[in-house]
């Protein structure tokens, strides 16, 4: 009887299982009871053993089971899609047979934390390379907008785009990093920090460390001069063939001249054999003038001329040029120069000639004054145009040297520079009336008999009529092809050196068929038709210059 009772109880229990869908059938098992998935999703394997036909079901579209049915021993793959949210999400997989649940497997997927992840956290770069090769790119994945922050001036990062079109799922972008050459004999390092724009907290800091190799060690000797010249040549991507040969001594280099013991202006005995003059031409550079110039400490003449696509360049003159204590003649022309350094006045004790023609300066540099450069004899600021404008009403900032003489003292300052012997301001955007200086005003005085000691009685008219003494030593004045209007002042029409200026070509003609900023037609109102008036004032000049004109 006892055995019969136990069999009845067991039958009742089995009957109850057949009516409760939440219980598990005998003969069904899996090797997992739950699945934990990363935010990126992935595949998870489940092994099923069952003596019944079954099907797998889920209520969400981001999860798929394959195969979704079976019998016996079956290996199923549960595929979890990448999430688009930052929070966890949950679901379950139900294994069913004849409408009854055989087993439930819980699925939990992590959400995406705020993250910025670079493909590398360290970059090593060379000390120098041609401009086309001075960049590196780094792939970054992020689910937040970010800025790139660094305090290094030798690194610049281009603007990047990040399309967060998949919610919290990180998307890819690429950082383009440009670098400048290292002129120091020591390596340098900086860190790029990728900072969320909206203040989000990251799961871990996002940084990229950049290490640059050391530049060449340039010593204070003749070999140092040689290395400095080669470095300057390479940095500026000079393409003038035959200029330098590293297999030949400097005495055979076409681009320079060395100090000799017999030179009358030799600075000191240590200068013998060092570079005296450097003349490089034809470049294809976007970089500033190289700082290695500072190593050519005995340089007397420096000429850098001719950059490709000058109008498109923005070149700065390095402050180190002002440390050249023996520099007399400086030409940085057709380079795309946009600025000169604040310490440029330190050259004032030696500089005699300055040529900045055909650059992209936007105005007359304030540092250029007779007080700062008492020995300067020649100044050329001509052809500083990086855009073609014929109507100054359409003038845009940065198109070239612009000055309005009606309310700007820049040109007036240059015209009061008594020591100058050559002044060129041709082909700029200078408008307004030439100043009509008066004796005793603004530091200007009239010619006196003392000024005519070496001129005989030829210029008595200037003394008698108290002609303002403006640019008294200038033998060459070029102000043509600008946007000047009004009358030519008396100091110019009767200037003692007017006949040497080629005024008909280099002074009087202004920009043809052009207009100034208020719509006036460009050109002077009183351009003389002959020199008769001049020779009547200075009769002894007639035979000298009229004869020369006839010969021409």
274, 260 Cβ separation under 8 angstroms: no
Q: What is the DSSP string of 478-542?
A: E--SSEEEEPPPHHHHT-TTGGGTTHHHHTS---TT-B-TTSPBPEES---SSSHHHHHHSTHHH
C-alpha span between 420 and 476 (Å, rounded): 9
Which tops the pLDDT comparison, 513 or 14?
513
pLDDT at 244: 85
C-alpha span between 71 and 50 (Å, rounded): 6
Q: What is the mean pLDDT of residues 209-237?
A: 94
Structure confidence at residue 457 as a pLDDT band (50, 70, 90): low
Domain pair 23-109 / 116-212, same fold:
yes
- Is 117's pLDDT higher than 80? yes
pLDDT at 548: 53
pLDDT at 322: 97
Q: What is the mean pLDDT of residues 245-250?
A: 86
- Is 17's pLDDT higher than 80? no
- Is 383's pLDDT higher than 80? yes
pLDDT tens, residue by residue, 140-155: 999 999 999 999 999 9
- Is 412's pLDDT higher than 60? yes
Q: What is the DSSP letter of 387?
A: S
Query: Strand 422-424 relative to strand 378-380: parallel, antiparallel, unpaired?
Result: parallel
Cis peptide before 67 (omega within 30 of 0): yes
Q: Which of 129-133, 274-278, 325-329, 441-445 has the lowest mean pLDDT?
A: 129-133
* R_g of the chain, CA atoms, integer Å: 41
402-404: strand order across its sheet:
402-404, 429-432, 483-486, 523-524
pLDDT tens, residue by residue, 47-62: 999 999 999 999 999 9
Q: How many residues does the chain have?
A: 552
pLDDT at 546: 77
Share of the chain above pLDDT 70, in %: 93
- Is 410's pLDDT higher than 80? yes
**CATH architecture assigned to 116-212:** Sandwich (2.60)
C-alpha span between 552 and 547 (Å, rounded): 9
pLDDT tens, residue by residue, 153-188: 999 999 999 999 998 899 999 999 999 999 899 999
pLDDT at 14: 44
pLDDT at 545: 85
Structure confidence at residue 505 as a pLDDT band (50, 70, 90): very high
Structure confidence at residue 130 as a pLDDT band (50, 70, 90): confident
- Is 336's pLDDT higher than 80? yes
Contacts of 159 (CB under 8 A, 6+ apart): none
- Is 393's pLDDT higher than 50? yes
Nearest to 237 by CA among 297, 179, 279, 280: 280
pLDDT tens, residue by residue, 347-367: 999 999 999 999 999 999 999
For 23-109, the fitting CATH number among 3.40.1190.20, 3.30.2090.10, 2.60.40.10, 2.40.240.10 is 2.60.40.10
- Is 5's pLDDT higher than 90? no
Share of the chain above pLDDT 90, in %: 81
258, 286 Cβ separation under 8 angstroms: no
pTM over 0.75: yes
pLDDT tens, residue by residue, 62-116: 999 999 999 999 999 999 999 999 889 999 999 999 889 999 999 999 988 999 9
Query: How is the chain split into domains, by residue range?
Result: 23-109, 116-212
Q: What is the mean pLDDT of residues 338-342?
A: 96
Q: What is the mean pLDDT of residues 301-316?
A: 95
Q: What is the mean pLDDT of residues 207-228?
A: 95
Structure confidence at residue 246 as a pLDDT band (50, 70, 90): confident
Largest CA distance in the chain: 159
Q: What is the mean pLDDT of residues 287-296?
A: 95
Q: What is the mean pLDDT of residues 423-444?
A: 95
Structure confidence at residue 211 as a pLDDT band (50, 70, 90): very high
C-alpha span between 481 and 426 (Å, rounded): 6
C-alpha span between 213 and 216 (Å, rounded): 10
pLDDT, averaged across the chain: 91
């Amino acid at each position: 009887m006892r055995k019969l009772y136990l069999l009845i109880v067991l039958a009742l229990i089995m009957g109850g299982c057949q009516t409760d869908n939440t219980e598990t059938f005998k003969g069904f098992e899996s090797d997992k009871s739950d699945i934990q998935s990363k935010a990126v999703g992935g595949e998870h394997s489940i092994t099923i053993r069952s003596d019944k036909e079954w099907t797998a079901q889920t209520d969400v579209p981001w999860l798929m089971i394959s195969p979704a049915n079976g019998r016996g021993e079956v290996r199923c793959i549960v595929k979890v899609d990448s999430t688009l949210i930052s929070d966890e999400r949950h679901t379950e997989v139900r294994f069913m047979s004849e409408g009854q649940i055989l087993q439930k497997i819980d699925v939990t997927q992590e959400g995406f934390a705020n993250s910025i992840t670079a493909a590398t956290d360290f970059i090593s770069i060379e000390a120098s390379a041609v401009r086309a090769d001075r960049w590196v790119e780094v792939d970054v994945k992020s689910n937040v907008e970010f800025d790139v922050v660094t305090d290094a001036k030798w690194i610049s990062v281009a603007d990047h785009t990040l399309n967060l079109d998949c919610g919290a799922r990180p998307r890819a972008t690429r950082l383009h990093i440009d670098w400048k050459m290292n002129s120091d004999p020591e390596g340098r390092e900086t860190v790029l920090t990728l900072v969320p724009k909206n203040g989000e907290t990251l799961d871990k800091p996002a940084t990229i460390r950049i290490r640059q190799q050391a530049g060449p060690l340039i010593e204070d000797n003749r070999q140092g001069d040689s290395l400095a010249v080669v470095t300057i040549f390479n940095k500026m991507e000079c393409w003038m063939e035959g200029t330098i040969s590293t297999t030949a001594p400097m005495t055979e280099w076409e681009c320079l001249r060395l100090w000799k013991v017999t030179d009358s202006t030799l600075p000191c005995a240590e200068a013998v054999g060092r570079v005296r003059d450097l003349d490089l031409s034809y470049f294809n550079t976007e970089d500033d003038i190289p700082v290695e110039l500072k190593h050519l400490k005995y340089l007397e003449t420096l000429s850098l001329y001719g950059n490709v696509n000058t109008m498109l360049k923005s070149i700065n003159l390095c402050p180190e040029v002002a440390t050249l204590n023996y520099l007399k003649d400086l030409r940085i022309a057709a380079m795309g120069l946009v600025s000169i350094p604040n310490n440029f006045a330190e050259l004032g004790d030696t500089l005699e000639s300055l040529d900045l023609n055909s650059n992209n300066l936007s105005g007359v540099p304030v540092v250029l004054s007779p007080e700062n450069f008492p020995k300067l004899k020649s100044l050329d600021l001509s052809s500083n145009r990086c855009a073609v404008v014929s109507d100054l009403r359409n003038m845009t900032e940065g198109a070239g040297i612009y000055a309005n003489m009606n309310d700007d003292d820049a040109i007036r300052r240059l015209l009061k520079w008594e020591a100058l012997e050559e002044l060129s301001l041709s082909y700029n955007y200078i408008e307004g009336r030439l100043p009509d200086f008066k004796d005793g005003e603004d530091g200007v005085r009239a010619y006196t008999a003392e000024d005519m000691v070496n001129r005989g009685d030829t210029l008595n008219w200037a003394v008698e009529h108290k002609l303002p003494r403006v640019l008294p030593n200038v033998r060459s004045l070029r102000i043509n092809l600008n946007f000047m209007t009004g009358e030519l002042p008396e100091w110019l029409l009767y200037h003692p050196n007017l006949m040497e200026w080629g005024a008909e070509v280099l002074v009087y003609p202004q920009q043809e068929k052009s207009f100034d900023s208020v719509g006036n037609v460009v050109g002077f109102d009183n351009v003389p038709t002959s020199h008769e008036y001049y020779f009547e004032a200075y009769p002894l000049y007639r035979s000298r210059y009229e004869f020369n004109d006839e010969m021409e």
